[in-house]
Amino acid sequence: MSGPTASAGLRLHLGGVAVRDGWTIVNISPGPGVDHVGSCTDLSVFPDGSCAEVYASHVLEHLGYDAELPRALHEINRVLVPSGRLMFSVPDLDILCRLFAAPGRTPAEKMLLMRMMFGGRIDAHDVHYSGLTWDFMQDYLGRAGFRSARRVAAFGLFDDASSVQFAGEPISLNVEAWK
């Protein structure tokens, strides 16, 4: 399924670090170029219908699947204009499990895949609280009020984890969803 992209409004980059013209960065940690420090579960600094696009690469898996993830998706939907677009990538648990269970994996390869599943733990925020799949995300998006969604191969917007590969295979679930 697909839909049009809204043309007017802010463009939010949740969890972003790289400054790029036209994008407003929201990050849980302060840093150079971060416009707003805070969680994607509370976007109250942005009015209803103020954003044309929201982008989040490897952010949503850091939220608890029971309350935080649904709250963040509702917040994103709230700030999007009608027909606004959410673009996100998360580690695809289906792919990672298949790669992990493949015969012949070395302990080092399994450790790397496990870190992709559960977080690298390089700081207090680098912990994954949700294992996400296409089926799971379709359900979460529907409950948050998104009208359609589709998987995409890549976004090509930022040099980020959305394009990470293991053994030549992309490990991210990349999704576009429309309000």
3-state secondary structure of 37: strand
In this predicted structure, the answer to whether residue 4 has a pLDDT above a threshold of 70 is no
For domain 10-178, say whether CATH 1.10.357.10 is its number. Answer: no
pTM value is: 0.93
Please choose, from the candidates 174, 77, 75, the residue with its C-alpha nearest in 3D space to the C-alpha of residue 134.
174
Q: What does the pLDDT look like over 89-144, one tens digit per residue?
A: 999 999 999 999 999 999 999 999 999 999 999 888 899 999 999 999 999 999 99
Output b/e per residue, 10-38; b: 16+ Cβ within 10 A: bbbbbbbeeeeeebbbbbbeeeeebeeee
Q: Please state the domain extents for the chain.
A: 10-178
pLDDT band at 32 (very low <50, low <70, confident <90, very high): very high
Give the span between the Cα atoms of 68 and 61, in whole angstroms: 10
pLDDT band at 146 (very low <50, low <70, confident <90, very high): very high
Q: Report the chain's mean pLDDT, rounded to a whole number.
A: 94
